[in-house]
Chains A and B, each alone.
Chain A
């Protein structure tokens, strides 16, 4: 590494540390109640969402390698990553609100679905899980896409006669480095999600919603500690994952 590269690295890291750690510390004050609960909730739902994103993410990455229509279809998994999260939130809300719309217009069969959505999905734990899973899908997809580009594992296992769920499971285990990366980074992603949750599932209160609401109510100071906690958790998880994966 030459001296110019070193200078660029040091300048970037120093700036980021100043902006994201040291300068905010000047404002720090005790956080309002609920920080621990929101973090625990996010961690739990994030784990479930990350696990749920693995199989569809891998399947889509395999479809992408196939090319043609399958590749175009697979690209849909990138949508949550490239459009504003608030748009994803609005679209999810609109989709899950449609049974209510048809119910009020006389389609009785959808009234049950409408009440289920109201009772169990929008602003409910299941809604949080759906929102986090939707946002975790592009993470898993892109990591598996990278892994399958490097290795032609799918072709090998298919030639051994494996197909369907057995092929997917074998690939998940064989590409374990990618699988673990996808799982951890999808989990970390759940802490950073705000836009979708704010619109579609703001209750129960997850870490990002907690920070947003605390900032609206109490200002910057009480939210600095919570924000730094999320930063520390995400950085630690990413660091441990990288160390473990490269060992």
Chain B
């Protein structure tokens, strides 16, 4: 089991989030409106805010561990600037996690090889792919993604989501866009007022709609 959440309760002000059980072994999208508790859910799982309940990653209970020891790579909606030149940043991170040999492969897989020597001037979409590459190099048990495409234009959004689909890794993907959820995820869960109402694996194939949109914009 890559990520298992059981009896999770977290509070943010007067808002309370309660999740009985959530399993993430593939790309699971959590869809909900603004204020439904999507970010609170990810923050609680990542250990950023206090929560009661059990969070298990790679078969290990990490509920009491700080975020840096949970092996959950948390990609944010607003991508973070790499601290140094992209290749140096990725190599330093890879060295920490014993994945130095994978830097080139990951860069090629995500289509960011041409960005490796860049330090500044990256677009938001490029930064988000660099963030994803950094996250991949840490070999996490699962990815947490909080509306990772909300600042990207449609073409970059599709590029990012294609990369997510090809990760072949467990991802808990939070979005308010049901079409994006249908495109990227295998399982879709609906979050309302801090509770997961239902999860479904029955999804419509909207790949053709995405392809159609892409032809309009390129």
Contact = CB atoms under 8 A, between A and B. Distances in A.
Contacts of B125: none
Contact of A158 (B66, B75, B96, B97): B66
B81 A160 contact: no
Contact of A174 (B48, B69, B82, B140): B82
Interface string B117-153: 0000000000000010011001010001000000000
B78 A162 contact: no
A160 B135 contact: yes
Interface of A: 150-153, 155-163, 167, 169-176
A198 to B, nearest CB: 40
A173 B80 CA distance: 11
A156 B76 contact: yes
Interface string B71-89: 1111110101111100000
B70 interface: yes
B93 interface: yes
Contact of B80 (A169, A172, A174): A174
B46 A159 contact: yes
A160 B69 CA distance: 9
Given A156-B80, A158-B48, A160-B93, 8 more contacts: A152-B78, A155-B46, A159-B67, A159-B68, A159-B135, A161-B69, A174-B82, A176-B83
A160 B134 contact: yes
A155 B138 contact: no
A155 B68 contact: no
A173 B74 contact: no
B80 A161 contact: no
A151 B78 CA distance: 7
Contacts of A169: 83
A220 B3 CA distance: 71
Contacts of B96: 161-162
A163 B68 contact: yes
A152 B145 CA distance: 13
Contact of B81 (A158, A162, A176): A176
Given A162-B68, A163-B66, A163-B68, A157 B80 contact: yes
Contacts of B80: 151-153, 156-157, 174
12 contacts: A150-B78, A151-B76, A151-B78, A155-B43, A159-B46, A159-B73, A159-B135, A161-B97, A163-B66, A167-B68, A170-B83, A174-B82
Interface in B51-76: 66-76
A157 B76 CA distance: 11
Contacts of B73: 159-160
A128 B46 CA distance: 44
Given A159-B46, A160-B73, A175 B81 contact: yes
A96 B71 CA distance: 46
Contacts of A167: 68
A155 B74 CA distance: 7
Contacts of A176: 81, 83
